[in-house]
Amino acid sequence: MSTTEKATYRPRHILITGASGGLGQALALRYAAQGVFLSLWGRDAARLEALAAACTAKGAECVVIRQDIRELEASREKILELDAARPLTMAILNSGVSSGLLPQKKPDLGGLEPVADACRVMEVNALGAINLMATLLEPMTARQAGHIVLIASLAALYPLPGSPGYSASKAALSFFARATRMALFDAGVRISIVYPGYIETPMSRRLKGPQPLRMTADAAAEHIASRLLAGKDTIIFPRMLALGTRLLHLLPEPLAAFFLRYFAFTVEPDRESPAYKGHSDAAPSKR
* Residues contacting 28, CB < 8 A, separation 6+: 16, 19, 38, 40, 51, 55
**120-151 pLDDT per residue, tens:** 999 999 999 999 999 999 999 999 999 999 99
**80-90 pLDDT per residue, tens:** 999 999 999 99
Stated pTM of the model: 0.90
Q: Tell me if 100 sits within 8 A of 125, measured CB to CB.
A: no
Q: Tell me if 279 sits within 8 A of 14, measured CB to CB.
A: no
Three-state secondary-structure class, residue 196? strand
Write down the domain spans for the chain.
3-267
Three-state secondary-structure class, residue 35? coil
Of 48, 38, 44, 46, the closest CA to residue 16 belongs to 38
Rounded to whole angstroms, the Cα distance separating 51 from 42 reads: 11
**192-247 pLDDT per residue, tens:** 999 999 999 999 999 999 999 999 999 999 999 999 999 999 999 999 999 999 89
End-to-end CA distance of the chain: 30
Rounded to whole angstroms, the Cα distance separating 22 from 33 reads: 19
**30-82 pLDDT per residue, tens:** 999 999 999 999 999 999 999 999 999 999 999 999 999 999 999 999 999 99
- 3-267 is a CATH 3.30.70.920 domain: no
**170-194 pLDDT per residue, tens:** 999 999 999 999 999 989 999 999 9
Residues in the chain: 287
Rounded to whole angstroms, the Cα distance separating 229 from 249 reads: 30
* Residues contacting 47, CB < 8 A, separation 6+: 20, 25
Helices of type H across 144-273: 164-183, 217-229, 239-248, 253-260
